[in-house]
Amino acid sequence: MNIPPNLLDATVQHLVLTYSALAIAIAIALPLSLAALYSRRAAMAVMTGANLLQAIPSFAVVAIVVPFLGIGFVPAVIAIMIRALLPIIKNAYLGLRDVDASLIDSAKGIGLTEWQITRHIRLPHAYPPLFAGMKFAAILANSIAILTAIIGSGGLGSIIFQGLSNLNTDKILAGSLPTIGIALFIDASFSLLERAVTPRTASPERNIKKR
C-alpha cells in the first residue's frame, strides 16, 4: 500500500479536530446538565434542544454551518461539537439526577450544601453514565470529523475523499485505517480513565460518613 506523504499531518489534524470539538462539547454540556438538574424549566429546554439537534442528520449539520460560519477548521469543530452534545448532556443529567433519595436526605440532614451534595454524592454516582456518554460522543466526533472534510477541515477525511474520487484503494485505506485505530484508542482510553478515576472516589455512603 502506498502511504500518502501527508498522512501524519492529516492524522494529527484529525486528532486536534476531534478532541477540540469534544472538549468544547464537554465544557458546554456539563454546566447545562447541572442547570437542568436544579430547574424543571431548564431541564425541559436543555433536553428538548439537545434532542432536536441530535435529530438533524450529520450531513445537514455540517452543511448548515457553512452559510453562518463559512468553511475550514473552526466551522468543522462547531459542527462536530453540536453532534457530540446530546450523549454527554443526557448521560450526565441522568447520572446526576438518579441518585437514591435517601442518600440525598441523609446528606441534607448532616448539613451538606447543594454544591457539596453534587460534588460528593451526585458526581461519583454519575461517573459510569458520564464516561459512557463522553466515550460515545468521542467516537461520534471521530466519525463526523471525516465528514467535515467536505467543508475544508482537512484531516483523514480529505485523504479518504480523495481516494473515493479517484477510486484509489490505497488512499481510502490510508485514511480509513488510522480512523479505525483512533476509534479503538478512544474506547480503550476512556474505559481506562473511568477505572482510574472511579476507585479513587469514595462511594456516596462513605462520603456522607466522612462529613
What ranges do the domains of the chain cover?
A: 7-201
User: Can you tell me which residue has the cell 454527554?
Assistant: 88
pLDDT mean over 162-187: 90
Query: How does pLDDT run across 109-137, given as a tens digit for each residue?
Result: 888 888 888 888 888 888 888 999 999 99
In the chain, what is the straight-line distance between the N-terminal and C-terminal CA atoms, in Å? Answer: 61
Global pTM value:
0.83
Chain segment 41-68, per-residue pLDDT in tens: 888 998 888 888 888 888 888 988 999 9
Domain 7-201 has CATH 1.10.3720.10: yes
Short-list 27, 24, 46, CA closest to 35: 46
Find, among 97, 108, 98, the residue nearest to 38 by Cα.
Answer: 97
Rounded to the nearest integer, the mean pLDDT of the chain is 86
Q: Is 57 left (phi over 0), alpha (psi -120 to 50) or beta?
A: beta
- The average pLDDT across 73-95 equals 92
